[in-house]
């Protein structure tokens, strides 16, 4: 029986499940990412005020290979130092566009065949765990950190997704919500 004390450093590292180095992760280049097939999901930011949240959305969108981000209303757009701080370069890989009106952007997406799903708490929601993603064209709307998704957006939504919560708070940070929802959809695709 081998004792850990008898192992060399490299042998011990292998036994303990060695962490991969960045050059071992085989990440795509920005050009390869941009040229590849995307998941037909558009993330729509409805008046997100925090630059750090916006950067987090870009990073999450890159991780889950989303088609595009729409930055709407007061949502700031790159380049900005505070967006870049959390995006870690994802503003270069993920396609994005700005629209002054979330409603106009969503109506255009709807006319292009996208189904609109707001992530919010309403009277009639679809619990996230019950939502079945079929690789169709969808737009996911995430709302302002204080007021959430605007009612006029909810009114045109094909559905409202709600993330179950079990604590004393009534919401997640909006960029955390994006990670949870996009992981759920990616998990179904896997």
Q: What is the pTM of this model?
A: 0.90
Cα(15)–Cα(32) distance, integer angstroms: 34
Q: How do the domains of the chain map onto residue ranges?
A: 29-189
Distances in Å between the Cα of 56 and the Cα atoms of 34, 86, 170 are 19, 5, 21
Rounded CA-CA distance 136/148 in Å is 25
Q: Which CATH number does the domain 29-189 belong to among 1.10.10.10, 3.40.1280.10, 3.10.270.10, 3.40.50.720?
A: 3.40.1280.10
Q: pLDDT band for position 1 (50/70/90)?
A: low
Is a pLDDT exceeding 70 seen at residue 15? no
80, 85, 89, 95: CA torsion to nearest 10? -50
Closest CA to 99 of 137, 145, 139: 139
How much is the pLDDT for 45? 98
Mean pLDDT, all residues of the chain: 94
Respond yes or no on whether the N-terminal peptide bond of residue 93 is cis (omega within 30° of 0): no
- Greater confidence (171 vs 43) lies with 43
Burial degree of 109 (CB within 10 A; 0-12, 13-18, 19+): buried
Angle made by CA atoms 132, 135, 141, in degrees to the nearest 5: 75
């Amino acid at each position: 029986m081998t004792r850990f004390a008898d192992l060399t450093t490299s042998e011990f590292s292998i036994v303990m499940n060695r962490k991969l180095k960045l050059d071992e992760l085989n990440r795509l280049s920005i050009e390869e990412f941009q040229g590849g097939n995307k998941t037909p999901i558009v993330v729509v930011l409805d008046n997100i005020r925090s630059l750090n949240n916006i950067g987090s959305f870009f990073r999450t969108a890159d991780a889950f290979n989303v088609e595009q981000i729409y930055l709407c209303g007061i949502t700031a757009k790159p380049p900005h130092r505070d967006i870049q701080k959390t995006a870690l370069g994802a503003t270069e890989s993920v396609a994005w566009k700005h629209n002054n009106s979330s409603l106009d952007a969503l109506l255009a997406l709807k006319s292009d065949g996208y189904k609109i799903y707001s992530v919010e708490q309403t009277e009639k929601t679809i619990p996230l765990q019950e939502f079945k993603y079929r690789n169709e064209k969808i737009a996911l709307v995430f709302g302002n950190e204080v007021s959430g998704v605007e009612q006029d957006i909810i009114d045109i939504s094909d559905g409202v997704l709600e993330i179950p919560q079990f604590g004393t708070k009534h919401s997640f940070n909006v960029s955390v919500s994006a990670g949870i929802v996009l992981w759920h959809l990616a998990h179904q695709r896997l």
